[in-house]
Structure 1
């Protein structure tokens, strides 16, 4: 049996990222329902968008292949740009979410007692899963960016 190629390993990592995002969204939605908190909603939106894009790009490894090298190269560039954008959006929303829930006060006004221990634990686990997903997304972005840069250099020669 042949060892999987790098693009297949990246696809597996993207599927893992999507699963981590899904679990983080589910945990966060158990604590506070949708319309009550806008910062948590933004964080969930960034995780949901990252999840869907990672699934699309991961499965495109096996279900989409262009016969034209120029088209494949443009698709790779598109994937890199979109995933870097999602990384930045996820990082910004994670920082906003962290500032509102894990400071000295919740929303700078309320004591932490508004959440019971299990809800606060779910918030912590959801935040941790989101951070792990962002870290893995960063690793995938580095791998894909290096691959695109190498391909661009190779095409110039």
Structure 2
């Protein structure tokens, strides 16, 4: 059975695989100089994959015996996830809106410019972007819940320690 930490790592690895597939295959239908929106999608997908791999592998490659350091890593992960989610949303919207060529569709028939595979790739790319965003949101929620639980546990422990110290002071003559 996987621990919560390992489950998060597996989900992050899946996000990385989907992001690399998205950037390498499905978001690669036009040349770079034609569509900077597509380049934006690819750069954000590769950046997301890199960060997901980095945090996923840190589960097995890095361990700290200090709870404060682990808590700081959770904070850093949540902030990084928020940035990745926002960047992927922007890239998905740009990919959806700007690569639809709706301006040109009014004046010319551009269906002959793209093969059926290119049209399907655009849909798959958008789907992979949405799937990556959903996986990142799930990871963010799990890490956020972990942060809250650890904080409450730390507070309870602190209160118990203070009560024990007070009782020890009362017991002394």
TM-score, length-scaled by structure 2: 0.81
1:35 is matched with which residue? 33
Q: CA RMSD in A?
A: 1.5
Question: Contact (CA 8 Å) 1:27, 1:123: kept in 2 or not?
Answer: no
2:62 is matched with which residue? 64
**Structure 1: 4+ residue segments shifted above 6 A:** none
Deviations 1:37-91 (A, max 9, x none): 1111111111111100000100100000012111111011101110111101111
Q: Which structure 2 residues correspond to residues 3-152 of structure 1 after superposition, within 5 A?
A: 3-102=1-100, 106=101, 108-110=103-105, 111-113=109-111, 114-152=113-151
* RCO higher in structure (CA 8 A, sep ≥6): 1
SS in structure 1 of the partner of residue 103 of structure 2: coil
Task: Tell me the matched-pair count.
Answer: 152
Instruction: State how far apart, in whole Å, the 2-side matches of 1:34 and 1:155 are.
Output: 51
TM-score, length-scaled by structure 1: 0.89
Worse overlay, 123-132 or 61-70: 123-132
- Shift of residue 154 of structure 1? 2.1
Instruction: State how far apart, in whole Å, the 1-side matches of 2:103 and 2:143 are.
Output: 40
- Shift of residue 7 of structure 1? 0.8
Structure 1, unaligned runs of 5 or more: none
Structure 2, unaligned runs of 5 or more: 157-173
Instruction: State how far apart, in whole Å, the 2-side matches of 1:94 and 1:38 are.
Output: 13
Question: Contact (CA 8 Å) 1:100, 1:108: kept in 2 or not?
Answer: no
Deviations 1:73-130 (A, max 9, x none): 101110111011110111111111101224xxx1522444131211111121122112
